[in-house]
Amino acid sequence: MVRVKELFRKHWRSNRPLGLLVVFSLACLVVSIVGLAVDPRLIGGEHAWIKPCKFSISLAVYGLTMMWLSRFLTADQKLFRRITVAALTGSVIELSAIILQVARGTASHFNSATPFDQTVFWIVIAAIMPVSFAIVAIYIMLLRERSLPAVVGAALRWGLFLTIVGLIPGVLMILPDRLQDVIAPYRQFDGHTVGYHQGGPGLPWLGWSTVAGDLRVAHFVGLHAIQVLPVVAYLISRSFPNLSSEGQRSLVWNFGFTYLCFVGLLIWQALAGESAAAPGARTVLAGMTVAAVSVLWTISVLAAERSGVGQERPAPAWSRALFRTRGGGAG
C-alpha cells in the first residue's frame, strides 16, 4: 500500500493527467457506492449504480496501470503525455455520460430509445477510443524499448498485446446489425448478448448472461491481461529462481499463448450463443486441449533446463527490475 502511494505521488508530479484520471475515477466510485446504498432503482434488470461502479473501478485500475507502465519507457515521454491527456478526456466524458444516464433512470449503452439516448451512447463510444488508443500506443512504444530484461519485456508486451485483443469483443458489440448478422448468423445479436435479448438473467454484480453468449466475458478477461501477465511473470521468477532467463521467458510465452487461446475460446463461445457459466462439451474439450498443451509446454521447458549444460543463469532477482527499477539487458 505504501509503494502504491509512493508511485502515485511520483507520477502525479511527472504525469498529472493520469493522476487526475485516477482521482476522477475514484470520486465517481464514491458517488456510485453512495448510489448503491441509497438508490434502489433497477436499469435493465440490475441495480442502477452497478455499471458506474464497475467502470469507475476499471478506469482507476487503468490509470494506475498506465502510471506503472510509463516507468519502463525511456523515450517518447512527450508523446506519452499527450496520449494520457486524451485518455483522461475520454475517461471523464465516458464516466460523466454513464452517471448522467443513471441519474435519468435509463441505460447508457446500447440505448436508442430516444435521439438523446442514442447520442449519449455514441458519445460514450467515441470517448472510449482515446482510452483504447493509449493501450495500442504504449504497446508500440514498448516494442521499441531495448533496455528491458528479457522476461520483463515478454511479460509487458504479452500483457499489452492481449489487452489489445481484449478490445476486439468491444468492437464486435457495436458493429452495425448487418455485420453482426454475418458474424453470428441465425442467432439474435443484441449488443453484447448473442442468442438472447440484452438484459436477461446474469451473474450477480458482473451481469454476464447465464442463458446466452456474452462478449463481455472475453472483453473483461482480455482487458485485464496487462495486470495478470506481470504478476504471473513475478510468480514464475519466485517459483523457479534457478531457471535461466530464457527458460523463464519461455514460461511467460507459454502463459501468454495459453491466455490468448482462452480469450479466443471465450469469443468463439459467446458468438456461438453459449453462456460462459454453462459451457458445452465442445468448449470444455477445447479448453482441456489448450490446458494440456500448456502443461506439456511447461514440462518440456523444465526438462530442457534440467538436461542442459552451461545454461545461462538469470540475473539476481530480475523481479526487482519489474516492480522497482527499470533494470537493464536485452528486451
- Grid cell listed for 41: 432503482
- Whether residue 274 is contained in a domain is answered as no
One-letter amino acid for residue 125 of the chain: I
Residue 269 lies in a domain: no
The amino acid at 104: R
Q: What is the dihedral of CA 112, 114, 117, 118, to 10 degrees?
A: 50
In a domain, 5, yes or no: yes
In a domain, 136, yes or no: yes
How far apart, in Å, are the Cα atoms of 253 and each of 73, 145, 230, 261?
A: 22, 18, 12, 12
What's the predicted TM-score (pTM) here? 0.85
Please indicate, yes or no, if residue 257 is contained in any of the structural domains: no
* Total domains in the fold of the chain: 1
φ/ψ (deg, to 5) at 113: -60, -35
- Cα–Cα distance between 294 and 296 in angstroms, integer? 5
Share of the chain above pLDDT 90, in %: 45
Residue 70 in domain? yes
Average pLDDT over residues 191-215: 80
Q: 28, 92 in Cβ contact below 8 A?
A: no
Least confident of 5-14, 63-72, 140-149: 5-14
Q: Are 79 and 137 in contact (CB under 8 A)?
A: yes
Per-residue pLDDT band for 144 (boundaries 50, 70, 90) equals confident
Query: pLDDT tens-digit profile of 33-46?
Result: 999 999 889 887 78
CB 321 within 8 A of CB 327: yes
Residue range(s) defining the domain that contains residue 142 = 1-147
Domain membership of residue 38 (yes or no) is: yes
pLDDT in tens, 224-275: 999 999 999 999 988 888 888 888 899 999 999 999 999 999 999 999 888 8
Residue 186: the pLDDT is 61
Inside any domain, residue 258: no
- pLDDT above 70 coverage of the chain, percent: 88
